[in-house]
């Protein structure tokens, strides 16, 4: 291996966080004094991103703050898709992310709540025993309330119907 694992890791991380290949190349040449090509960065991302994905799927972080749920539309191959996300407010760790064709309960909110309950149920039970239930914060989409009632009715709290600007009060 010509370059150190630290440089490869930094290149992959920078690219995954939204830097362009050119900016990653410039960053590494400026701060790490290495001369790499953009194609090398892209090859590293392709080679190692599957390994990182497998590692992060097994990783179960501790939930430290309220969980913010949101859905938004993105363009994927000239088609509009709905992106469902749940994120821990304090750690900024994304607990759930899914892309669906429609903004329906079964393809989004139901999977969001069922996956979170399946992976993090023990943490919700511990928080309930301590008397500090974990809070979900969501906008006014009714699917969130329906999913919450089905999967977390007695385990957590729901702050429902807040705009993004007002959500900061409930952290």
**Domain map of the chain by residue range?**
5-56, 67-170
Tell me, what's the pLDDT at 54? Answer: 80
Q: Which residues of 43-64 are buried (b: 16+ CB within 10 A; e: fewer)?
A: ebbeeeeeeeeeeeeeeeeebe
Quick check: 109 and 140 in contact, CB under 8 A? no
Output the pLDDT for position 134.
96
Closest CA to 95 of 65, 127, 139: 65
Put simply, whether the predicted model's pTM sits higher than 0.85 gets the answer: no
Tell me what the mean pLDDT of segment 144-163 comes to. 91
**Average pLDDT of every residue of the chain:** 89
The tokens of 114 are what? 């069922």
CATH number of 67-170: 3.30.420.10
pLDDT higher than 80, residue 169: no
Tell me the pLDDT band of 109, cut-offs 50, 70 and 90. very high
Pair 136, 117: CB distance under 8 Å: no
pLDDT, tens digit, 9 for 90 and up, residues 40-80 = 999 999 998 888 778 777 888 899 999 999 999 999 999 99
Confidence of residue 115 (pLDDT cuts 50, 70, 90): very high
Would you say residue 170 has pLDDT above 80? no
Whole-number Cα distances in Å, 111 to 6, 127, 169: 36, 22, 27
- pLDDT exceeds 80 at position 171: no
Other Cβ atoms within 10 Å of 135 Cβ, number: 17
Residues 28, 32: Cα–Cα separation, whole Å: 5
Instruction: Quote the pLDDT of residue 168.
Output: 53
Percent of the chain residues past pLDDT 70, beyond the cut? 94
Mean pLDDT of the region 74-92? 93
Longest dimension (CA), the chain: 56
């Amino acid at each position: 291996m010509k370059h150190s694992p630290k440089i490869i890791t930094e290149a992959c991380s920078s690219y995954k966080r939204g830097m362009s290949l050119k900016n990653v190349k410039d960053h590494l040449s400026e701060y790490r004094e290495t001369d790499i090509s953009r194609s090398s960065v892209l090859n590293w991302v392709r080679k190692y991103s599957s390994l990182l994905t497998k590692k992060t799927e097994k990783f179960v972080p501790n939930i430290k703050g309220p969980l913010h749920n949101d859905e938004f539309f993105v363009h994927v191959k000239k088609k509009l898709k709905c992106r469902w996300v749940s994120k821990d407010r304090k750690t900024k760790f994304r607990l759930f992310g899914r892309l669906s064709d429609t903004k329906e309960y079964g393809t989004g909110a139901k999977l969001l709540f069922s996956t979170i309950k399946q992976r993090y149920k023990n943490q919700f039970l511990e928080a309930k025993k301590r008397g500090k239930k974990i809070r979900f914060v969501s906008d006014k989409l009714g699917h969130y309330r329906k999913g919450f009632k089905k999967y977390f009715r007695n385990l957590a709290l729901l702050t429902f119907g807040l705009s993004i600007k007002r959500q900061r009060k409930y952290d």
